[in-house]
Structure 1
Amino acid sequence: MTLLDLTPRTATSDRLATLPVVIIGAGPIGLAAAANLVERGIDFTILEAGDRIASSVRLWGHTRLFSPWRHLIDPPSRRLLDAAGWTAPTDEGRAPTGHELVDDYLAPLAGLPEIGSRIRFGTRVVAVTRDGMDRTRTAGRATTPFLLRLEAPDGTVEEITGRAVIDASGTYTTPNPLASTGLDPIGATDIDDLILHALPDVLGTDRSSFAGKHTVVVGAGHSAANTLIGLAQLPKDELGTRVTWLIRNPSAIRVSSSPDDELADRAKLGSRVDQLVHTGQITLVDSFEISRLQPHDDGVRLVGRRRGEEAFLDADVVVNATGFRPDLSMLREVRLELDDIVEAPRRLAPLIDPNLHSCGTVAPHGFAELRHPEPGFFLVGMKSYGRAPTFLLATGYEQVRSIAAWLDGDMPAATEVQLTLPATGVCSTDLSSGNSCCS
């Protein structure tokens, strides 16, 4: 890497210097980016598609995170909150639920005037480009403002410009398809009302969707494990409830327990699912590759192949816990450099390869690993990890700290990236409710 590669490339013209940095998404990482910019006196605008902050977190708010409080509070955010008289969580070793994360930390942060006054709700970004040029134009590109096309819930469209763009829009609303090919299964649109998103509130608001029914949970990760544990509790009170766990591989490696996990509760998650399978409370169907979905009675039939033979499985409802992927459609006119496999920034991808790393073994990284051929544009947070499932908030906080320093021209701070994480992942699980989430 040459010195030229690390030279700041934003605010190099009077036109850019008068514009704000545009942050897409008012979730934990977007708000952390805002806090860093506040501390550096850099103007910004936050665009949030939902009508409240952290709209995606609220969707799985009943779920307990893997990380304890001490890894969930961004340092610049804490400084701003402390200055405003905020009361921090008393037990920093406890892992909160998503709702607690929002209510006790993110909402107070967004409520600070220096941040809340810059959030625009109900504003969906549908496209990002350069003002007056598509991706094929090169001359003057680095000194030309970004242009973002926005759409309101009523369909109103407008465009704004910005000095730089930090895309922290996440991936929770764009799950991987059920088919093993990476495509939507044939027939999926005919029964999409029977396909539920990952991490439903099985024992709470979504209980009626599962009580007395046969649910098939598809996926081999921790989101699937959480849902399975919750579903296994329903038959005690809801007669006729059955649970099947469907995976495409011979085993669910991602939820297997490890005695080396520094946070033991995470390791217990896999053991608990194994026990539920062993006792027959959960039926495991492995090596099943889905290709097609069909209506069947009042439910759905999953059609595919299992160990080389045609196979099918009937269910009343299906939970898609196959992981997530970034929505890149709005970035068609941005010059991105993404890894061919995980769709993360090319320099970051080797550091987060899920075949080699857990969330706790990812090396610290900042603007240098996150940069693209498009100067001043960054994917951060879960979206920066592409299809890799190993992201956690502490890593995202260091990303945006480095990027804010780079935007400020503070190269020593931008390049000095540090992060201390427990071995094999910052993860925890609420064993009383069976809910957890890696973050």
Structure 2
Amino acid sequence: MNAPATTELPVVVIGAGPVGLAAAAHLLDQGIEPLVLEAGPAAGAAVREWAHVRLFSTWGEVVDPAAEKLLASTGWTRPDPDTYPSGGDWAEQYLQPLADALGGRVRLGTTVTGVSRTGRDRIVDADREQQPFVVHLANADGREERVLARSVIDASGTWATPGPAGGSGLAALGEQAAGDRITYRVPDLKDPATRARYAGTRTAVIGSGASAFTALAYLADLAKSKDGTGTMGVWILRRGLSGSTFGGGEADQLPARGALGLAAKAAVDEGHADAVTGFRTEAVERDTDGRLILVGEDGRCLDAVDELIVLTGFRPDLSFLNELRLDLDERLQAPAELAPLIDPNQHSCGTVYPHGHRELSHPEPGVYLVGMKSYGRAPTFLAMTGYEQVRSVAAAIAGDLASADRVELVLPETGVCGGAGLFDTSDTRETESGGCCAPTPPLVRLGTPATVGAAAEEAPAGGCCSS
């Protein structure tokens, strides 16, 4: 393959979600041509799958500045910056217009199957950095193709690879066989068929993040309705209860995010859900009626449930990057320089340190994992974090290191101390170890969870901010 000069080639952006499209806007702002490759049938394909969930960030926090500048030239007007969009709102009122503004630079139905250097596999050193990237594609019609790129920005997210129910990180025994009664998404209980599936049932929710809070609030709301009599939730936590279990509450600088944890607490306190702590699922069995029995690693068996909602986070798909030289943290599968800033085993009070191209770089120059993909298995990603990442990365690719190194973001604090990686930690132990965790927040009456507590983790959990 005769490759043109690298600088004449586009920058390939993998994923047409919020961060991928923002990356394209920032590249254009730098005078660099982007090519956005999206596996789904529409821009924001992953976001559209949780269209019913409301974000806990306002419109003012989920619109990228460079993207807004591009959209303004089309006559687009940003929605009220103080209101909260749903995933559907975000996709239809922002992501789709942004993709339309980018025009032919966005290719849909195009799956990236591999990325490498032209004529160089992973082990070859000779002239490696002088070779353009080659990106292998599979199109929706079955055609295979390859394109050359000067740089590659992977904003493909983690939505397609949710975590399993099994406490070991692997699927529990029997989990796949029980797939007809398991979902790995927050169910849309406004959809009549989905509502009928969960109404009057005993449903277990595994998870301790914003997505689990949302599911519990939805189930509690269903239980209070006329058609949901008998609906009961079982909240399964792998850890013990601590001051951080219910999030930051009123101390969270994103109020809607704090309200989620309080809604989950209300579901338990009001008797719409039972909490089971320190339970790590080893197996999923069936009783004679076909209902699911969860068996723990410690031998405990829970009472049978009709449905199981698994919301244990997400993980990155790194398979198509296997020929590139990446420096990833061995635990989080995030860029090694970024990992200490987001590690849930170490995180304490305060906010994630704003970061850019230096923390996101790898031994393979010109490759960047951004957005939820950059967080690997770490939780709690915000759209504004991804927007700052791609601003810095685009500037670095353009050679403007002064701009690339400049921090232009202040992130809101969660109000939570300690991290999701803490194992069976009690309030007492956190205090004795010098942590600053507040006690479990008091119950606050929130009204209808579907309107006040129905915000989702932006990376559901990238959430909601995948790709």
The TM-score, its normalising length taken from structure 2, stands at: 0.85
Quote how far apart the aligned CAs of 1:295 are.
Answer: 3.5
Aligned to 2:221: 233
Aligned to 1:128: 115
Aligned to 1:40: 30
Instruction: Give, in whole Å, the separation in 2 of the partners of 1:120 and 1:299.
Output: 43
Any conservation in 2 of the 1:354–1:390 contact (CA below 8 Å)? Answer: no
Aligned to 1:219: 207
Secondary structure at 2:169 match in 1: coil
Question: Which of 12, 24, 48 is the aligned partner of 2:14?
Answer: 24
Quote how far apart the aligned CAs of 1:145 are.
Answer: 1.5
The one-letter code of the counterpart of 1:436 is: A
Instruction: Give, in whole Å, the separation in 2 of the partners of 1:41 and 1:29.
Output: 18
1:18-417 alignment, distance < 5 Å? 18-89=8-79, 91-112=80-101, 115-204=102-191, 206-235=194-223, 236=225, 237-251=227-241, 253-296=244-287, 297-305=289-297, 308-357=298-347, 361-417=351-407
Instruction: Give, in whole Å, the separation in 1 of the partners of 2:126 and 2:391.
Output: 30
Secondary structure at 2:116 match in 1: strand
Secondary structure at 2:5 match in 1: helix
The one-letter code of the counterpart of 2:187 is: P
Instruction: Give, in whole Å, the separation in 1 of the partners of 2:230 and 2:141.
Output: 43
Any conservation in 1 of the 2:257–2:457 contact (CA below 8 Å)? Answer: no
Secondary structure at 1:314 match in 2: coil
The one-letter code of the counterpart of 2:264 is: V
Any conservation in 2 of the 1:46–1:119 contact (CA below 8 Å)? Answer: yes
Quote how far apart the aligned CAs of 1:266 are.
Answer: 2.6
Quote how far apart the aligned CAs of 1:262 are.
Answer: 2.3
Secondary structure at 1:315 match in 2: coil
Instruction: Give, in whole Å, the separation in 2 of the partners of 1:280 and 1:321.
Output: 21
Identical aligned pairs, as a percentage?
A: 45
Quote how far apart the aligned CAs of 1:241 are.
Answer: 2.3
Q: 1:64 to 1:425 in 2, by over 3 A?
A: farther
The one-letter code of the counterpart of 1:289 is: R
The one-letter code of the counterpart of 1:437 is: A
Aligned to 2:431: none
Quote how far apart the aligned CAs of 1:388 are.
Answer: 0.9
235-244 or 51-60, which deviates more: 235-244
Q: 1:269 to 1:245 in 2, by over 3 A?
A: same
- Per-residue CA deviation, residues 220-273 of structure 1 (Å, 9 max, x unaligned), is 111001011101122332234221111111127343344422233332322222
The one-letter code of the counterpart of 2:176 is: T
Any conservation in 1 of the 2:221–2:449 contact (CA below 8 Å)? Answer: no
Instruction: Give, in whole Å, the separation in 2 of the partners of 1:425 and 1:59.
Output: 29
Aligned to 1:9: none
246-255 or 224-233, which deviates more: 246-255
- Per-residue CA deviation, residues 315-352 of structure 1 (Å, 9 max, x unaligned), is 22211111111111111111110112211101111111
Quote how far apart the aligned CAs of 1:28 are.
Answer: 0.3
Any conservation in 1 of the 2:332–2:377 contact (CA below 8 Å)? Answer: yes
Instruction: Give, in whole Å, the separation in 2 of the partners of 1:262 and 1:74.
Output: 20
Instruction: Give, in whole Å, the separation in 2 of the partners of 1:329 and 1:18.
Output: 28
The one-letter code of the counterpart of 1:414 is: A
Task: Specify every segment of 5 or more residues in structure 2 that has no aligned partner in the other structure, as ranges.
Answer: 417-445, 459-467
The one-letter code of the counterpart of 2:273 is: I
Task: Specify every segment of 5 or more residues in structure 1 that has no aligned partner in the other structure, as ranges.
Answer: 1-12
Q: 1:124 to 1:436 in 2, by over 3 A?
A: same
Quote how far apart the aligned CAs of 1:168 are.
Answer: 0.2
- Per-residue CA deviation, residues 175-215 of structure 1 (Å, 9 max, x unaligned), is 11111101111222212222102222123353233123221
Secondary structure at 2:275 match in 1: strand
Q: 1:251 to 1:153 in 2, by over 3 A?
A: farther
- Per-residue CA deviation, residues 109-146 of structure 1 (Å, 9 max, x unaligned), is 1111xx12111111111221222221111111111121
141-150 or 356-365, which deviates more: 356-365
Secondary structure at 2:137 match in 1: strand
- Per-residue CA deviation, residues 159-184 of structure 1 (Å, 9 max, x unaligned), is 22211110000111211111110111
Instruction: Give, in whole Å, the separation in 2 of the partners of 1:160 and 1:81.
Output: 27
Quote how far apart the aligned CAs of 1:84 are.
Answer: 1.9
Q: How many residues align?
A: 420
Q: 1:425 to 1:390 in 2, by over 3 A?
A: farther
Instruction: Give, in whole Å, the separation in 1 of the partners of 2:321 and 2:218.
Output: 37
417-426 or 386-395, which deviates more: 417-426
Instruction: Give, in whole Å, the separation in 1 of the partners of 2:398 and 2:303.
Output: 56
Quote how far apart the aligned CAs of 1:303 are.
Answer: 1.7
Instruction: Give, in whole Å, the separation in 1 of the partners of 2:175 and 2:381.
Output: 29
The one-letter code of the counterpart of 2:239 is: N
The one-letter code of the counterpart of 2:83 is: R
Q: 1:379 to 1:214 in 2, by over 3 A?
A: same
The one-letter code of the counterpart of 1:107 is: Q
Aligned to 1:436: 455
Any conservation in 2 of the 1:357–1:390 contact (CA below 8 Å)? Answer: no
Q: 1:72 to 1:360 in 2, by over 3 A?
A: farther
Aligned to 2:420: none
Quote how far apart the aligned CAs of 1:27 are.
Answer: 0.2
Aligned to 2:408: 418
Aligned to 1:10: none
The TM-score, its normalising length taken from structure 1, stands at: 0.90
